[in-house]
Structure 1
């Protein structure tokens, strides 16, 4: 049987790995974007938020006498690398990248919702506050992507219909 704190710690380590994956995925995406400046700017902003989130999660783990999982962090980074490589092979990378970013943000929203409930259940107010600080950043990014998917799609389609413009990135 696993106690509640052990579950919370495991989920915090999962969140840390998830944010490591997000950072690598976002950095790769931003580095390849050439023709979508608004998307690139928002991704770069979220990279900075993600770096802060990683530090906040490390602070929680440290305060609770634990540390990130090297294995989970490495797996997350490897997954991000695979996503970057697969994205480079498709002609509509910017659209598929935005779609996968939206899905990933919603996974993060779910993870922080679970962490808030777990921290509240065991009475860890500091972890609860930390996750309540991170959650709106993830929600804002998901909302931004969703709101901009139509114009991004239109821009991609218009660029791809022109023989003079590159649309992929």
Structure 2
């Protein structure tokens, strides 16, 4: 059974909406736990807000196509975001594990938005690329921030750990 380009595009948008639900949960759970990394806490708080705006942009696109997000997908990925954050909380080096996971997750989102832009073009949606590009730019900025702060996060973790202080978060 063939699927239309438009249907593929809508599914991609719904998946991206759900992915942002997961991102929001990941950021929020980490913000709640971070104590010794104030810059990271603030950047994750800001990125949670960006992710909410990204969801709103996707909502706009879906509405313009006469459809809506998948509530089931949103709930499922939100749960996954909470579980992922909780799994690292058990680790002594939680902040390092979260940093690695966040870096990978941002690149997953970057790939998602790039793919959606191709789908929008194929589906003939000339309005969405501007909104998708705005979200893509935010994801690229977040990935860059994580990369630029990886060394200092690692050093801070090692300093706290070596001093016998709470280092993981």
TM-score per shorter chain, which class? over 0.9
The alpha carbon displacement at 1:70 in A equals: 1.3
The TM-score normalised by the length of structure 1 is 0.97
Residue 48 of structure 1 aligns with which residue?
A: 49
Alpha-carbon separation, structure 1, partners of 2:58 and 2:136 = 12
- For structure 1, which segment, 136-145 or 85-94, has the greater mean C-alpha deviation from structure 2 after superposition? 85-94
Matched, 1:72 2:110: no
The TM-score normalised by the length of structure 2 is 0.97
CA deviation vs aligned residue, 1:70-102 (integer Å, no higher than 9, x gap): 111111011011112211100111111011000
SS of residue matched to 2:148? helix
List, as ranges, runs of 4+ consecutive aligned residues in structure 1 with deviation greater than 6 Å.
none
Alpha-carbon separation, structure 2, partners of 1:89 and 1:129 = 40
Alpha-carbon separation, structure 2, partners of 1:48 and 1:77 = 15
Alpha-carbon separation, structure 2, partners of 1:21 and 1:89 = 20
Residue 166 of structure 1 aligns with which residue?
A: 166
Q: What are the ranges of 5 or more consecutive residues in structure 2 without an aligned counterpart?
A: none
Residue 22 of structure 2 aligns with which residue?
A: 21
Residue 107 of structure 2 aligns with which residue?
A: 106
SS of residue matched to 1:125? coil
The alpha carbon displacement at 1:122 in A equals: 2.1
